[in-house]
Amino acid sequence: MNVTIARQPIFTTKQTIMGYELLYRKDLDALDAEVFDDVSATAQVISGSLLEIGMSNMVGENKAFINFPRAYLLNPSGVPLDKNQVVIEVLENSGFDALLLASLRKWTNAGYKLALDDFEYEPKLLPFVELATYIKLDLQLLGRDKFMQQVEALKGFKVKIVAEKVETWEEFNFCEVLGVDFYQGYFFERPELISKKATKVNSITLLQLMAELLKGENLNVNELESIVSRDIGLVHKLLKFLNSPITGLSANVDSVRLAIVLVGVDQLKSLTNLLLMSELVGDRHVLLETILLRAKHAELMSLRLGHKHNETYFLAGMLSMMDACVGISLPEVLKQLPLPTEFINAIIQRSGNVGNVLDMVEQFSKGHKVTSTVSVDDLKASYVESVEWVDNFLSRI
């Protein structure tokens, strides 16, 4: 598995680099972004730059301009980034309303710089301009006349103008005469693709970790350590994050527990959220909902039936659909995990109490006749409760 990110430099009038825009790419063969999910694309750019390639390798000491979709802009605490290096790009389709304005104020109050991308100024957008440090104007989209009007309209504000899609020497001269501060486009350099082999994190581990982190006061550090320790990919990313400039730490880490303590619950939650979102491309978000729904339904039914170790039923529900996630047969998936043979048999052969509960929740979810003697009312009630739990869980990550 490789992570691929494109970077395009942003130049000063003296044609020295002041920063790079970091862009999502599916792989090294991708000619453009091919973005199907803005949130997932941004998460992959951030996680790839931060936890795989390294932000210093991507931009050095320069600024990193990263496109943020509205969903991320409305969640200021959800992304672990260096406020001194990263510039948050607010996309033109973000919906410039009161809710977005309030969220952007939180970003700027936290010390982040904002860039308004593909922007077109009009008086009602004044509050957004006042928050911005950079405004990016698309020369090709606006045309020279409208571009000039935009530059003139913005001269009274304390913002730096970035001319985007500058493709010829004549266009560069045109922008320079207008007093534009920075430049980006094919005239200077096309986006450069940077790729590196990435460590894979198990989606099950991430879901279990997030579920534990959302327990609030009932959170158990021993359980966090146990979950993180199961996945070498997650351990690697955690240590990589600790070693990044954003943490400001220089301590030597000799245990997973110490790494968790140094990162802290809030940052660990942000990292887990980031990794989860980077996994959810296209229809994978729908798949995640389905998996969580079966897992929670199995857990709640085990409670109603008076079974012990209810968390086992939750895990069994998740694992019973892992073949859909990884694209190989369920026996092959489970064989790769450190699971008791009895537990594997319960999932595959539907043996014992665990297998019986899995059977009934699967039959119910598919609209089939439930072969167990369990109350259908119990199945319905627990299903509704599971739907509510899944909606709440996903809204919090």
pLDDT digits (tens, 9 = 90+) for 65-107: 999 888 778 865 556 788 889 999 998 888 889 989 999 999 9
pTM of the full structure: 0.67
**250-269: average pLDDT:** 76
pLDDT value of residue 168: 94
| Sequence-separated contacts (24+) of 67-70 with Cβ below 8 Å | 67/21, 67/23, 67/38, 67/41, 67/42, 67/91, 67/117, 68/42, 69/38, 69/39, 69/42, 69/94, 70/94, 70/95, 70/100
Q: State how far the Cα of 24 lies from the Cα of 19, in Å rounded to an integer.
A: 17
pLDDT recorded at residue 174:
96
Across residues 6-26, what is the average pLDDT? Answer: 90
Which candidate, 61, 1, 9, places its Cα nearest to that of 28?
Answer: 1
Band of residue 148 on the pLDDT scale cut at 50, 70, 90: very high
pLDDT band with cut points at 50, 70 and 90 for residue 203: confident
Percentage of the chain beyond pLDDT 90 is 34
Residue 28 has what pLDDT? 58
Question: How does the average pLDDT of the chain come out, rounded?
Answer: 83
pLDDT average, residue stretch 351-367: 90
Question: Are the C-beta atoms of 41 and 49 separated by less than 8 Å?
Answer: no
Weakest-pLDDT range from 35-39, 139-143, 303-307, 336-340: 35-39
Q: With cut-offs at 50, 70 and 90, classify the pLDDT of residue 254.
A: low
Q: What angle do CA 259, 265, 270 make, to 5 degrees?
A: 100
C-alpha 256/C-alpha 226 separation (Å) is: 9
Burial, 226: exposed, middle or buried (Cβ in 10 Å; 0-12, 13-18, 19+)?
middle
Q: Give the per-residue pLDDT at 43.
A: 75
pLDDT at 171: 96
* pLDDT value of residue 223: 87
pLDDT of residue 282: 46
pLDDT of 182 strictly over 90: yes
Percentage of residues of the chain with pLDDT beyond 70: 86
Q: Check whether 37 has a pLDDT greater than 80.
A: no
pLDDT tens-digit readout, 268-316: 887 887 787 776 554 556 677 788 888 889 999 999 999 887 777 887 8
∠ CA 330-336-338, nearest 5°, is: 115
Does position 338 have pLDDT exceeding 90, yes or no?
Answer: no
Res. 371 pLDDT band, cuts 50 70 90: confident
Q: Quick check: 6 pLDDT over 50?
A: yes
